[in-house]
Amino acid sequence: MSVHKDERANGKWVVVYKNRKKRGFTTKREAQMYESKLKLSEDENTCNMYIYDVADMYLDDLYKRVTYGSYIKRFQVYRDYIKPNIKNKRISLITTLDCKKFNDYVGSLKFSTVHKNCILSTYKLIFTFAKKYLNLKNNPSDILENFKSTPEEKMKKKDAENNIWSVDEFNQFIKFVKIKKYKVLFYVLFYTGIRQGEAQALQWKDYYDGVLDIYKNYTKKTDKGIYEIKDTKSVNSVRKITLNQGLINILDDYKKDLSSIKGFNDEWFIFGNIEPLARTNINRVKDRACKESGVKRITLHGFRHSHVSNLISNDVNIVAVSRRLGHSNIDITLKTYTHLMKKNEDELVKSLDLSFQNLSNDKSE
């Protein structure tokens, strides 16, 4: 193996490549980058590394940049579907035909279109990494296009667009949530639009002056324990959410109840006290209240969609909506909630028609 740990040197990494040897690298990635430079020095025009090695480097880099759950998803896709079905060729020698063959293989799998596209995108990201960091001149995977949804999947997506509640539906639901910490959680999700993981990560120190300070996220899948509190999804997700007075009253009243408990302090999680509430428990309480109240069942993310729906129906500026959601740009908001905008536009046209009809009637008289 050209890159390996040197146990004689306190576990430092060493690179052995042809007649060259260099010790003292602190991390595997540093050693791999040095090895890639050696390989590049043989041919400055393109990357000569084998695709398995490039994939390892891509995954090592990914591990440092995303949540553990996101990393595991890509890692498993590579391990189960990509590596067993591609030849370990030098990446510069992989052709568009090789990419097409892999594309055909993925297309033959009996998976959802979403999962097929996840496999395909992971494959393409390996080449993107090589082109960005390893001097690969041409990316043969650029020819590959995402698989299109089936008619059945399009119908399901349309159904998913109805994953929202009106204010009346929420009010009916909340009557059947008996445990106060869950009741307060559902109020916050519905009236702020924050993500479920952002809510789970909230501590009382993050609530002050009628504002929720959003800068961290709860993730369940982690290699460090049952859960981990990490930075938010992106830089744009760091934001302050201004609360309406009704929600402020609910949170203040809840905090007053908790303050009588011995040991209470601002480091406690708002939803869960010493430990944050588990998603499975939240879902169980939600589903039970849905059943007992008779309202349709929506997902936890549906509370976020419901919040946006209520804002849009009240003509709130879409830029303000995008900032409140923590989206990186307004295009994401528009793309995600196009169906809500369309419904709002339909109502606007109906209102104009009614106004025009009234005007016509006035003229006829």
pLDDT at 43: 54
CB 303 within 8 A of CB 227: no
pLDDT, residue 348, reads 46
Q: How far apart are CA 155 and CA 324, in angstroms?
A: 29
Question: Quick one: CA torsion of 103, 109, 111, 115, rounded to 10 degrees?
Answer: -30
Residue with tokens 């402020």: 248
pLDDT on residue 203:
96
Position 9 scores a pLDDT of 60
Express each pLDDT in 5-39 by its tens digit. 776 667 788 888 766 778 778 888 888 888 877 76
Q: Give dist(CA 317, CA 177) in Å, integer.
A: 32
How many residues in the chain? 365
Helical segments of the chain, H only: 28-42, 51-65, 68-77, 96-108, 113-133, 151-160, 167-174, 180-192, 196-201, 245-258, 279-293, 301-313, 318-325, 330-336, 338-364
Domains in the chain (CATH in brackets) are 43-153 (1.10.150.130), 167-337 (1.10.443.10)
Provide the β-strand partners of residue 203. 269
Read off the pTM.
Answer: 0.63
Provide the pLDDT for residue 312: 81
Residue closest to 200 by CA, chosen among 308, 273, 284: 273
The count of other CB atoms within 10 Å of the CB of residue 314 is 8
Residue corresponding to tokens 């060729």:
89
Amino acid at the residue 327:
H
Rounded to the nearest angstrom, the gap between the alpha carbon of residue 110 and the centroid of all alpha carbons in its chain is 25
Below-70 pLDDT ranges, the chain: 1, 7-9, 18-19, 39-46, 156-161, 221-225, 233, 336-365
Percent of the chain with pLDDT over 70: 84
Q: Residue 89: what pLDDT?
A: 94
237 secondary structure, DSSP code = G
Cβ neighbours, 10 Å, residue 12: 16
Q: What is the pLDDT of residue 8?
A: 67
